[in-house]
Each structure stands twice: as structure tokens, then as C-alpha cells.
Amino acid sequence: MKVHWTDSAIVHLVNIYEYIAHDSLVYAKRMIDRITKRSKQIAGFRMSGHKVPEYEADDIREIIEKPYRIIYRIKSDQIDVLAVVHGAQLLPEKIEN
């Protein structure tokens, strides 16, 4: 199944990269690579993630790439990555595509 990274998820990746890059460009690239490679997992096994406890929706799931949560929505024709947030960060009340 196709995995689509939403604009907001891409912005999150850029912010993560820039934050880590202040200390190390190597570690910043490694973290982004680790996060983006997880999209292969959800492409092949879309139900492999857990339901997101903050949302009462069966189609919104998450996988963890410590310390980040990769939040995604399962659709009939594709999977949308909605957000990449630090595990200590609070999620918004409502998550949009």
C-alpha cells in the first residue's frame, strides 16, 4: 500500500532534523532515516501500529521510533502519515490531514 507523507508530517521531519542538526548533522540524518524507513513497515503491515490513545478512531494508529511517535491514518487506497511528534509532546485535540 502507498504511504503518503502529509505536508504537516514533512514539516515535523524538517523541524526534527534542524533541531538535532544543531548538535550533529550525522545524528540528524540518522534519525530522519530511521523515521522515514518505518513507512516501509506500515506500507506492508498497516495494522502493525497501535491505536492512538488520545484519539477514539480505529483508523488512526501509531508506531514508535524512539523518542518519536509516527501518527498515521489508514485509508482504503493509501496510508497518510499525519504527524511525527516527540513522545513527551502532547498531541492536539484533533488531528487533520
pTM > 0.85 = yes
3 in Cβ contact with 78 (< 8 Å): yes
pLDDT of residue 89: 81
pLDDT of residue 11: 95
Domain-embedded: residue 91: no
Domain-embedded: residue 97: no
SS3 state at 82: strand
Range of the domain at 22: 2-86
Specify the CATH number for the domain of residue 50: 3.30.2310.20
pLDDT of residue 56: 82
Domain-embedded: residue 94: no
Domain-embedded: residue 92: no
pLDDT of residue 39: 87
State the Cα–Cα distance between residues 36 and 60, nearest whole angstrom: 18
Query: How, if at all, do strands 78-86 and 2-5 pair?
Result: parallel
- As averages over each run of 10 residues, the pLDDT of the chain (97 residues) reads 93 96 97 93 86 88 95 94 88 68
pLDDT of residue 96: 65
Domain-embedded: residue 93: no
Q: How many domains does the chain contain in total?
A: 1
Domain-embedded: residue 34: yes
State the Cα–Cα distance between residues 93 and 65, nearest whole angstrom: 22
Which ranges of 6-47 would DSSP assign to H, the alpha helix? 7-21, 25-44
pLDDT of residue 49: 87
